[in-house]
Structure 1
């Protein structure tokens, strides 16, 4: 049976003002609303006074917090410590609540940070993250190269089945999309070039524009971007799923090297596939430009081929083909590295798959731009 809680003043013999307060009844959560109203009404006048808890029957943390609000947490701690007739469990409860309230009140609130400091902080975090990723990539490239050189002279350690499987997946299956995309881009470049050059009466140079752009830049660049989106993401998802399923730990337990078993076949496959796809992309792009020249510019195929042979040097083809192995190696390494970074959840697999595509495309475009500037300055 519950008893209604109450707060009554303790009259002083020297003054009409109350020298303290007597609380009684059940100070529990069930009576919290009624007690809260009384405490709010008496809160200012009760601070610093005496507190008689002899008539208190039931008490929980809600009632203890109201008592702390009534006389203040510091005063409540002093009164409880001096109340020798108070039961031990009740004294412990009141002291714990009072100390918790004091600890909360003394907590320092964080000062607002200026907007420019937040901006600089985000920039610093981005730079640090970029530096860490660059160092991790360089370290993984070193491990991959050392493993490649270690097994080149040991044919028994070559994973030929895995190599041909990845070669089919990343090379042969990508031929249709690479050929179609570069054919369409070649046609678009021919249309745009003819539109601009027609104003100068130099429509015939559309042939040189298409051949020059695809042999040096577009053929290898478009192929590398497609491989970054198609193959790097596949490498990351495959290795990441194995990491999430603890298959890589099982490989290590069997005494095998995950780098040799999972990374090297993918790297070798892309080193073979991307140059071959680059060659196909060059042919498809030039073919798309030739179709446009034949249909819209009245340049027959024989004349188109003759202009290619006369005006386009072999070095432009070699420049484009020399970029392909470099791009292939970096795309494969980035895709595999992001796969090993997966923490074990499906969300992590998705995040690192996206990261591998973004990093691969970024690295490919940056290196292509640097190579173009360098080769232009060298006169190649």
Structure 2
């Protein structure tokens, strides 16, 4: 009877170990599945668990080491207990010890793989947020308990990784730019994203690499106002083109001397006798054609600027770029009313 009781107790311990293994395996998968942004949202929605969840954001390497220590400790303890049970039972009942030990090892391995790895990982992948909310508190205290060992193993692991030329910094992003690009491509292929959404997201990644000369309008194709034109010529031309801001040139378009706003032309119409174009012009904003359009967008925003005149490295005017041109690099062509009317006229 004593041997049966001992086997029963060992069996209970084995079940507890299987449960712990499932716990560690599930938490590991759930945490890795969560992006930093989702983790931060979880913290915001669960302020009482902020200190518990923050350990994953601050020390992901240490937390992973904690989980791996737990998973491996459970595996070793399970194998040891099953071997002990097999030994006790074989002696008591006179069974073949080697055969019983092998069978118990196979059974324990099957249980660990199916119920300690596969099942919890599948559940955690599809229920990452729920899994983290349920398990993060006990993980936090377990992590604190074995933290001295965890940090030691982590440091050794980081040194080994760096020794082979890899990156293992604590502040390494949990998701990279290339991974996000892959997600966009996958979302496009599987129909999760609409074609316009996919195109816009792809344009965002290209945006930081583009320079002004790739998005500008060549000066030869730009509608400009001649500084010597009379009021009637200017009003007629601007009405036909429908622009709200126009460069003003002297002699030819490679000599831009100012910018005139459409609203100022309204005042001209009311007070034609007061017409002096130079008095209404704003100073042009010049930019180099090799400047990144992302930097230009920031300048447009900070300076409340909507138009820039583009120069090359020699200082010659090569084009014009507007806020609309910059935004079109992300969202695609923006057809305003003036564009539509011009197309109709051409047809």
Asked whether the two chains share a fold, i.e. TM above 0.5, the reply is no
Mark the structure with the bigger radius of gyration.
1
TM-score under structure 2 length normalisation: 0.23
Instruction: Tell me which protein shows more helix as a share of its residues.
Output: 1
TM-score under structure 1 length normalisation: 0.21
